[in-house]
Amino acid sequence: MTKQEHINYNRIAEAIDYIKSNFKAQPSLNEIAETVHLSNFHFQRLFTDWAGVSPKKFMQYISLAYAKQLLKEKQATLFDTALETGLSGTGRLHDLFVNIEGMTPGEFKNGGANLSINYSIAESPFGNLIVASTSIGICHMAFFSNKEQALSILTSRFPKATYNQVVDKIQKDALFIFQNDWSKLNQIKLHLNGTPFQLKVWETLLKIPTGNLTTYGAIAKEISRPKASRAVGTAIGNNPVAFLIPCHRVIQASGNTGGYMWGTTRKTAIIGWEAAKTNASNDHQN
C-alpha cells in the first residue's frame, strides 16, 4: 500500500466516524465531505477509489439494518456453507488459504526463548501494521498508530525470543491478502500460542466467509459450548493476528458492531470494505 493510500484511509476513517455518529440523520454527501475538508467531487472520488462503492452505498453496508439483515439471512447456514470447498468467489478463496498451527510447549518455553521472530512494518487499506513471523508462520499482526508501542506489545508476547527486522516470504504472502487478486494467494500459515479453547475459537473464526457477519453466541454454539459466549468473547479479544483471523466479522446479536482491539472505527471500515468487495465480486460473477 502506498503512503497516499494510508493518508486516504485516515480521511475515510474520519468520515466513517461521522457517519456512525450521525447515521440516523442520513447525512448528505456534502455534510460528510465537509468533515474531511474536501469538495463533494473529491470526497466522492476518494471514497469510491478506497471502498469501490459510493459513500451512500457504503453507508448502507455499515448500517444497523444491514447487519441485522445479514445475521437473519446468513447465520443459520453460515458454518454449513463454510464447509464448501469450491472456490466459487473471492469471499471463500481468502479464507481457504489461512490455517492455524499451535505452538508446542517447547516453542513457547521461557517466554519464547526458542523462537526466532522476523518482523516488519507495513501499510494496509486500514492503516499501519506490524507483522511478525517464525519459520513456520505468522505469529502476530496488529494495526497501530505508534510504532514504538506496537513493537513493545510484540516483544512483551515473546519476551525472550530473538528478533530480526526482516521482511520474509511468509510476511509477504500474508500481506497479499489486502490485494484484490486473491487467486494468486499462497497458503498462509499462522503459528500461534494459545490455549486449546482459544485455538478452537480462532479456527472457527476462519469459517466466517468474507462479507458475512456472525455473533458471539453463534461461535459458542459452533464449538459446542452454547453457554460460553462470554468466554468466546474473551478468546476473540485475545486474537493475536488482525484481519487474517477475522474477529471483525463477529458482532453483537443486536446488530451493533461491538468492540474491537484495534478500534471500532477500523472494525466498521473493514466490515464495509469487505461487504463492498464481496458484493462487487458477486455482481461480476452474475
Do 53 and 86 have their domain in common? no
Do 139 and 41 have their domain in common? no
For residues 277 and 125, the answer to whether their CB atoms sit within 8 Å is no
Do 39 and 144 have their domain in common? no
- Render each residue's pLDDT in the chain as its tens digit; 286 residues: 556 666 788 889 999 999 888 877 788 999 999 999 999 999 999 999 888 889 989 988 888 888 888 787 765 455 555 444 333 444 444 455 688 999 988 888 888 888 999 999 998 989 999 999 999 999 999 999 999 999 999 999 999 999 999 999 999 988 888 876 555 566 789 999 999 999 999 999 988 888 889 999 999 999 999 999 999 999 999 999 999 999 999 999 998 899 999 999 999 999 999 888 887 666 555 4
For residues 173 and 188, the answer to whether their CB atoms sit within 8 Å is yes
Report the alpha-carbon distance of residue 229 to residue 257 in Å, rounded: 16
Do 177 and 49 have their domain in common? no
Query: 259 exposed, middle or buried (CB, 10 Å; 0-12, 13-18, 19+)?
Result: middle
* Of 109, 114, 110, 163, the residue nearest 140 (C-alpha): 163
Domain limits for position 49:
3-61
Do 52 and 122 have their domain in common? no
What's the whole-model pTM score?
0.87
Domains identified in the chain, total number: 2
Residue numbers annotated as active site: 247
